[in-house]
Structure 1
Amino acid sequence: MAQVSSFPGKGISDDDVAAIAEGRVDDPFAIFGPRHRGRAGVLVTFDAYAQTMTAVTSSDEIPLAPCGHGVFCGDIGQCEQYHLRAGDGTRSWDYDDPYRFAPVLGEMDLYLIGEGTHRRLWKALGAHAMTHEGVAGVHFAVWAPNAQGVSVVGGFNGWDGRRAPMRHRGHGIWEIFLPGLHAGEAYKYHIRPRDGAPFLKADPMARATECPPATASLVADTADGAWTDQGWMTHRAAANLHAEPISIYEVNLASWRHRDGRSLSYREAADELVEYAHDMGFTHLEFMPLAEYPFGGSWGYQPTGLYAPTARHGTAEDFRALVDAAHNKGLGVLMDWVPAHFPNDAHGLAHFDGTPLYEHADPREGFHPDWNTHIYNFGRTEVRNFLTANAIYWLREFHLDGLRVDAVASMLYRDYSREHDAWVPNRDGGRENYEAIDFLREMNTLAYGEGPDGLMTVAEESTAWPGVTTPVHAGGLGFGFKWNMGWMNDTLRYMEKDPVYRRHDHGLMTFGLAYAFSENFVLPISHDEVVHGKGSMLQKMPGDTAAKLANLRAYYGFMWGHPGKKLLFMGCEFAQGHEWNHDEALDWGVLAAPGHAGVQTLVRDLNTLYRATPALYQRESDSAAFTWIDRDAYAESVLSWIRWGHAGEKPVVVVCNFTPVERHWTLGLPLGGAWREALNTDADRYGGSNRGNMGSVRADGPPQSGQNHSARVTLPPLSTLFLISEDDQ
């Protein structure tokens, strides 16, 4: 056996031992490993549970001397390959010394992170199971520029912040390779701030987490699953989404359907939800946020783990299987994405390194009063990189077909929901948030440039901000689509009125056409309309149960006939009787009632008609593709218009009667001959009274309402009709 040098003369100083014992080592790779204080061969290691420590080489076993407080030291000469054997008197354990390994991150990674342009940030930061210098383990890297020290802690080291302090690499990056660890390990970062006591934080870049309410990060299993959606991805890349039918089914996966008193898993949803949405004729599923979030009552809109699919429903690979199954059924998948703010949970991003790092320090900029959340500092390059890379991550790694960006209005305006003295003007004294605007433009540019072809970004933006869907190079924000919140608010206000008073608010149904072609719009009936005391869609409608159902059917007909892509929140498609509760499954039992089943059948048929009729989707952003017939029939609460497709496509006429009175109407039509009644919301298959036009009308009357022909049409009470020309053009 080799002889151990005497201590402390040629070993470790009392100050270093005290720093190790007290967990305040600032430069761990100068203290630990086989180069203590730069002296090659002088090995220092620490294990609070060990009584003995030996360095085992290929040819020798070198005992290390105890220096107190679990610190051991010895001279191992020029041995570069060794492992450690610790003992506590009753057992021994072997492990590789993490402080003998070189860094993993290269200079280019560090440069791009510092510059805020690392397009694959998730591949550099976070936890990665890998083989490094021939040894299997996990590489950890985290951005914490103002920390005094950072350690990785977990069950593998007794959650002891003294055991695995990380190497500071510059640009605020800390990293370490811990040999012997593997996917599935729970961990956090032990942050030692410059002022105050140490604390634990989850990994901002973790790609897996414990299931809430547990808060640790997990080393993700990143083995690539076998995607089988190549056909979908190829078709998507060739499609022009603005000229395609898009009908979106918005889903809260936690409450869509329960099994054995619990939410569905991702893989169960891959069967049940995908099959249902496909049968209902929707083109896309849109999931409310699935990035990990601690509080169920936030519905995912207060995430703490932006890179981790919530563990409530399974693993990241399970979520990939759900997306893959949807694609193989011809369904696109969107997800709500929340870059506007984040919660103040202790394990999350707030004061991550002991300072306001991801958020603004000034609460007038960094705190959202409505949601009790922090606002990202979009002016910090690393924070902007964290968010833009996250958008690319979801689009690339999970084949998502798009992101719906939440709360865009709150990002655009510095005074959003604030008192006059509770916000900070921009550099020009205005209310526009220049940094957030730049971030959104960069995010959209990167999403469309870096993500797979054919995807979409959608803005939930409730103001009249110009150019939301105008390309960035033309001065816009660069989104593909925008939710039409004004249309939703106006038309629901109208529908909530007793029909006898609707004549006074006729403009609520027509005003949307004044701006319908200024953006690429989605017409949203979302979760926000059926919560917080607003009642369900059925409850909004006036009258008794039969009248409520008829009003709702007529409204859905109006919506599907109106220019704009469609979005309907789950449960609305079968007229759920009570407003949505995130803790409960949808009330599927109401489908036993014919009226509710009829609404479900109507939505299925509307989707089928919409997808099969090019005039209803080809030119939804083209004002020349829309012609009013009856816009000013206030007294009768009748609306009618023409939807035009490309040359050679049959036009569609949509007629709405929003009174409970049957009307015999002289309807102007652009073409003579037969017009098929393609859909009538009053049909008995939908629970209606089955009044209508026996399947068709004939345009053999004189010019009417600016059209060259006319027909006498029966308009059932509280109904919408779709008429399609039968004659070749």
Structure 2
Amino acid sequence: MTRTAPPRPPTAPDLPPKAGLTDAADVAALVASDHRDPFGVLGPHPAAGGTVLRCFRPDAAAIEAIDPDSGVVLAALERRHPDGVFDGRIDAPFPARYRLRIDYGAAGGVWEVEDPYRFPSSFGELDLHLLGEGTHLELYERLGAHPRTLDGVDGTVFAVWAPNARRVAVVGDFNRWDGRLHPMRLHPGIGVWEIFLPGIGPGATYKFEIRGPDGTLLPPKTDPFAFRAEHPPATASIVHGLPRYDWDDAAWMDSRAAAQRRDAPISVYEVHPGSWRRVPEEGDRPLSWRELGDQLIPYAVGLGFTHIELMPISEFPFDGSWGYQPIGLYAPTSRFGPPEDFAGFVDRCHRAGLGVLLDWVPGHFPTDEHGLARFDGTALYEHADPRQGMHQDWGTLIYNYGRAEVRNFLLGNALFWLDRFHVDGLRVDAVASMLYLDYSRKAGEWVPNRFGGRENLEAVDFLRQTNVEVFGRHQGVTTVAEESTAWPAVSRPAHLGGLGFGYKWNMGWMNDTLRYMQKDPIHRTWHHSDLTFGLLYAFSENFVLPLSHDEVVHGKGSMLGKMPGDDWQKFANLRAFYGFMWAHPGKKLLFMGGEFAQPAEWSHDRSLDWHLLGDERHAGMQRLIGDLNRLYREVPALHARDCEPEGFAWIDASNSTDSILAWLRLGHDGDRPVLAVSNFTPVPRQGYRIGVPHGGRWIERLNTDAAGYGGSGLGNFGGVEAEASPWHGQPHSLLLTLPPLATVLFEWAG
């Protein structure tokens, strides 16, 4: 947009406007911001052997159409309405290229601008067809705000799906948020509105002004496909275009399939980026993506984790939701930097050998008026019936998975993160709430499916389709379900009747084992089955053992705070539990702070208590996690058959009196077995006999009671020779020293 006031060229033709060129009803609708087809009225249109040009520019004193190269006046437009409707005519076809010279009087000056209404649609027939049937898997390349060059003019194409709207306009800092100025073109039948705004580029803030089907003007809506947004509490979308980044992670992308298979060691460090570490010298602000790259990546690598899992980073309005109530699914939150900086963070993770998983929230969205709720004046993304469309627990809205365009929006988003940001997998939040129509509802508060059942058949189809497309289109990625019920075959392929996830969180294991660990050791004898029951179903799914953020908030206490006894016993209990977890079948997930036994519950608005690492008890816990991760990765028996019954064998599951468990972890042929023994009482056991399958030496690879971890240092002097004394149904046995409240791991030397 160029501001200029050149003299009128002497060769300009004298083309006085003729009366009656614009219908009074069109004028009234334009002025009232209620014209459904602005492209049918504004811009150039053939008329009786010539061309009529119409413009709507409130506050303009005069408008001329000029040749963009010579400045010659093509037509002087006449005001048809005091609020700024102008038109004019030439008795010839109007040139394809022209500009508008707009005089706003002494206060506003003269401006030369491109006319948005001279540009044709940027949508092709195939795009419109796929959008219309809800099968456009790259729809984020068409909807949203995309900087483009059309007919040699730089600008931005805006497009939004609002099929029931009577009128949609783009408003922003470039038009003083005036919804009268830029009403959009409707593509009938598919409900997509579109406009190219010349001169608008990256950095401009915008929203959509929508008039509902009954004529009600809605609160301005953010763009569902915005790639960047203002920092909350500001709510505008920002023109950005698809993120561009020069990736340097080819080696990781080629090898990541091997790093995420069922037989791979997968140990996940779950992180809330806003509270992992803060900068107290600068108002206690969170770290940026670049700073997290400098600090978080080497920290996770140093502790031996294979993956980082980020709690939701799609733009969200309320910090206290932790990201689980997102508004902008396609926009990495502005809290930590621009989208390209997030891409850079992922790239650095990959170059350091770390996979990146994202928490993804397709189950619900908040009711904020600038978001998806009643987006076009109707229940568009959600169900109209609150028995189907409202989450009772969270006060949020449930997506209508039966609507093809909504499924397309969500599926496209899953593919967007994998495609544009190279993330290695999606942990899908609250899957149980998606699967069941009666989730957290009483009788009469839900609507049965077409067969009279409680299963959400549309959500099931959506999850299966998403997994099929994700695995089919992106080599080596995975998906993880947070699913807390007994729904079968969650992590089995969709073509075999499963939901198609790569892994499932083992919520039953988590609940049972934490319930056991919170008991005083004197009472544990009566709850022994809490530790053994999980092995009855441990291989029914590809399980991840999760100690997530959900277990250290809302009065549940920290991991250390859950443990009974005095301080020494609390630390010993937690060390023993971590040893039990890392030796148990299943991939591992630990929430930040748990690795150094933070005593306080996690809080999203403050940093972890890093100063505690000055205390040897906390530093010892951190060393233990690092050693557990390294052992888990180095020893195939501990990970290669995590998801197969052949990878596990009980040695002694029945000693509830002493609260002792002993089991074997087994790899493939040629892999040396590992014996794990947990003593969940504070009583040390000397000369405790355990059966083993092989003679020879068994090396003590890890002892959670080691002095270096903060324990008493009681152990087996590096290993034990097996005796030819059958025990526990095994041909050989070991006489062990079992430290108090400890887990000890032995590897057969071969």
Q: How many residues align?
A: 725
Residue 22 of structure 1 deviates from its aligned partner by 1.1
Residue 13 of structure 1 deviates from its aligned partner by 2.8
Residue 63 of structure 1 deviates from its aligned partner by 2.2
1:113 is the counterpart of 2:131:
yes
Residue 8 of structure 1 deviates from its aligned partner by 2.7
Among 547, 570, 574, the residue aligned to 1:552: 574
Which residue in 2 is equivalent to 1:92? 110
Which residue in 1 is equivalent to 2:76? 63
Q: How does 1:304-383 map to 2 (within 5 A)?
A: 304-383=327-406
C-alpha contact (below 8 Å) 1:30/1:37 kept by paired residues:
no
Structure 2 length-normalised TM:
0.95
Which residue in 1 is equivalent to 2:9? none
1:41 is the counterpart of 2:51:
yes
Structure 2 unaligned regions, length at least 5: 1-11
Among 664, 667, 681, the residue aligned to 1:642: 664
Identical counterparts, % of pairs: 57
Secondary structure of the residue aligned to 1:656 is: strand
Which residue in 1 is equivalent to 2:222? 202
The residue type equivalent to 2:65 in the other structure is A
Secondary structure of the residue aligned to 1:435 is: helix
Deviates more, 1:364-373 or 1:28-37: 28-37
Among 607, 612, 619, the residue aligned to 1:590: 612
Secondary structure of the residue aligned to 1:629 is: strand
Which residue in 1 is equivalent to 2:187? 169
Q: How does 1:10-409 map to 2 (within 5 A)?
A: 11-35=21-45, 41-57=51-67, 58-59=69-70, 60-61=72-73, 62-67=75-80, 68-76=82-90, 77-78=92-93, 79-90=95-106, 91-170=109-188, 171-199=190-218, 200-222=220-242, 224-239=244-259, 241-259=261-279, 260=282, 261-409=284-432
1:37 to 1:671, Cα distance in 2 relative to 1, 3 A: farther
Deviates more, 1:235-244 or 1:370-379: 235-244
Secondary structure of the residue aligned to 1:157 is: coil
State how far apart, in whole Å, the 2-side matches of 1:133 and 1:225 are: 27
Residue 426 of structure 1 deviates from its aligned partner by 0.6
Q: How does 1:664-703 map to 2 (within 5 A)?
A: 664=686, 665-703=688-726
1:459 is the counterpart of 2:481:
yes
State how far apart, in whole Å, the 2-side matches of 1:164 and 1:8 are: 25
Which residue in 2 is equivalent to 1:470? 492
Deviates more, 1:231-240 or 1:629-638: 231-240
Residue 38 of structure 1 deviates from its aligned partner by 9.2
State how far apart, in whole Å, the 2-side matches of 1:213 and 1:463 are: 36
Q: Deviations over 1:210-267 (max 9, x none)?
A: 1111111111143621101000001114556111000000000010000131001111
Structure 1 length-normalised TM:
0.98
Deviates more, 1:298-307 or 1:694-703: 694-703
Q: Deviations over 1:526-561 (max 9, x none)?
A: 000000000000000000111000000000000000
State how far apart, in whole Å, the 2-side matches of 1:223 and 1:575 are: 38
State how far apart, in whole Å, the 2-side matches of 1:186 and 1:237 are: 40
Deviates more, 1:14-23 or 1:382-391: 14-23
The residue type equivalent to 1:217 in the other structure is S
Deviates more, 1:85-94 or 1:690-699: 85-94
Residue 589 of structure 1 deviates from its aligned partner by 1.1
Residue 54 of structure 1 deviates from its aligned partner by 1.3
Q: Deviations over 1:416-453 (max 9, x none)?
A: 00011100001111101100000000000011112x21
Q: Deviations over 1:577-600 (max 9, x none)?
A: 110000111011111111111101
Secondary structure of the residue aligned to 1:397 is: helix
C-alpha contact (below 8 Å) 2:260/2:266 kept by paired residues:
no
The residue type equivalent to 1:488 in the other structure is M
C-alpha contact (below 8 Å) 2:260/2:477 kept by paired residues:
no
1:8 is the counterpart of 2:56:
no
C-alpha contact (below 8 Å) 1:458/1:483 kept by paired residues:
yes
1:468 to 1:73, Cα distance in 2 relative to 1, 3 A: same
Which residue in 1 is equivalent to 2:4? none
1:446 is the counterpart of 2:461:
no
Residue 87 of structure 1 deviates from its aligned partner by 1.6
Which residue in 2 is equivalent to 1:539? 561
The residue type equivalent to 1:33 in the other structure is G
State how far apart, in whole Å, the 2-side matches of 1:619 and 1:432 are: 32
State how far apart, in whole Å, the 2-side matches of 1:481 and 1:182 are: 42
State how far apart, in whole Å, the 2-side matches of 1:328 and 1:726 are: 34
State how far apart, in whole Å, the 1-side matches of 2:29 and 2:164 are: 20
Q: Deviations over 1:325-354 (max 9, x none)?
A: 000100000000000000000000000000
Residue 701 of structure 1 deviates from its aligned partner by 4.2
Q: How does 1:477-496 map to 2 (within 5 A)?
A: 477-496=499-518
1:487 to 1:38, Cα distance in 2 relative to 1, 3 A: farther
